[in-house]
Amino acid sequence: MGGDFGPPETVPGVLAALDAHPELTVTLVGDSDAVQAELSRHDVIGRSVSIAPSEGKVEDDEHPIAALRRKPNSSIATAMRLVQLGDADMVVSMGSTGATMATAVMALGLLEGLERPCIGGNFLGVAPNTTVVDLGSNVDCRPSLLLNFAALGVAFSRRRLGIENPRVALLSVGEESSKGNRQVQESHTLFRESHLNFVGNVEGMDFFTGKADVIVCDGFIGNILIKFAEGLGSALVPYLHHRLSAVLPGEQVQQIGEALWTTMNLPRTMGGPLFGVNGLVMIGHGSSTATGVAGAINTGLLCHRLELVEGFRQELAELHRAVVRET
């Protein structure tokens, strides 16, 4: 039901993912009539797709916790219950990120030692090996929370991107440990004393310089950065169009513009896993079309195969063992 478009995009997205992955079985959670109406527009005979009916959905402008109390059988709550009961291996949602996170925490629980989940990953096609945490759920983070997020980022970098010993850095306004706001200065000490492969502070340009594999920041900044990149991508397409349309055929200009837009908007076409809950939950972009829905499912299948959640669990356990050893 989620996302800006609901079944008219999520259903075709699911069917595309089923085409690409015959081993996949999908349960569509939502309002039966709406989902059935969309399914009836496609040929679904013999395909592994079924409907789990739910009641209502959590809207973007609702307070997640309050909405979940009011709508205990909303689509996101019903979907999460399938994973909680072992009837599904992952949830894929294009709906309210806040509601998805809150439901995931309530239904699946947090990994041991963690206070809050976060969102992370590589979000720029021109920086494909740079993992960033937190990309936008937690503002005003204490240093110990950032350290836990760093461990989750390390697990992602290792399992998903194949980087054996990821270098971890704090995002700041200068490399020296004295640079940065109070949060970063306090975190710097904690990170330096941890078992992480901490390489110090990096700056805004270092998403692209390869100085670190995992860049850690507050979700306030992470969210601003991901939306800034998204907006910049949207602004650069007409800019390039203007410069290129005099010298290249329209179709080529179009292709170059689309490729640029995609590289600035990886989460729109790939989705990303929620970090830190006891189960696999994929967050898709709210404005995803069918391509984005299929992309989020694809990424989810990969994360499942890589046992990403187990990686998160191990990395957090290692972090907390190391902290106990030191104290």
Catalog residues that contact a second copy under the rule CB under 8 A.
61, 124-127, 136, 139-140, 171-173, 176, 180-182, 184, 203-209, 218-221, 223-232, 234-236, 239-240, 243-244, 247-248, 252, 256, 259-260, 263
Residue closer to a second copy by CB (options 176, 307) is: 176
Phi-psi category of 56—alpha, beta or left, where left has phi over 0 and alpha has psi -120 to 50?
left
Q: Helix crossing, 219-244 with 250-263: angle to 10°?
A: 170
Shortest separation between residue 56's beta carbon and a second copy, angstroms: 21
Residue closer to a second copy by CB (options 121, 180) is: 180
Shortest separation between residue 206's beta carbon and a second copy, angstroms: 7
Residue closer to a second copy by CB (options 51, 240) is: 240
d(CA 295, CA 269): 5
Instruction: Identify the CA nearest to 159 among candidates 119, 188, 180, 131.
Output: 131
Residue partners of 325: CB distance under 8 A and separation at least 6: none
Shortest separation between residue 245's beta carbon and a second copy, angstroms: 12
Q: How many CB atoms lie within 10 A of CB 104?
A: 26
Instruction: Quote the tokens at residue 227.
Output: 């939306």
d(CA 248, CA 277): 48
Query: Phi first, then psi: what are they for 216, rounded to 5°?
Result: -105, 130
Residue closer to a second copy by CB (options 9, 230) is: 230
Shortest separation between residue 175's beta carbon and a second copy, angstroms: 10
For the CA atoms of 206, 207, 208, 212, the dihedral, rounded to the nearest 10 degrees, stands at: 70
Residue closer to a second copy by CB (options 70, 242) is: 242
Residue partners of 296: CB distance under 8 A and separation at least 6: 13, 92, 94, 270, 271, 282, 283, 284, 288
Residue closer to a second copy by CB (options 228, 321) is: 228
Residue closer to a second copy by CB (options 69, 305) is: 69
Shortest separation between residue 4's beta carbon and a second copy, angstroms: 15
Instruction: Quote the tokens at residue 21.
Output: 């992955």
Shortest separation between residue 259's beta carbon and a second copy, angstroms: 7
**Spatial contact of 117 and 243, defined as CB atoms under 8 Å apart:** no
Shortest separation between residue 38's beta carbon and a second copy, angstroms: 29
Residue closer to a second copy by CB (options 73, 255) is: 255
Residue closer to a second copy by CB (options 37, 224) is: 224
Query: Phi first, then psi: what are they for 24, rounded to 5°?
Result: -75, 140
Q: Is the four-CA dihedral 128, 133, 136, 137 of positive or negative sign?
A: positive
Shortest separation between residue 234's beta carbon and a second copy, angstroms: 6
Shortest separation between residue 163's beta carbon and a second copy, angstroms: 19
**Spatial contact of 19 and 13, defined as CB atoms under 8 Å apart:** no
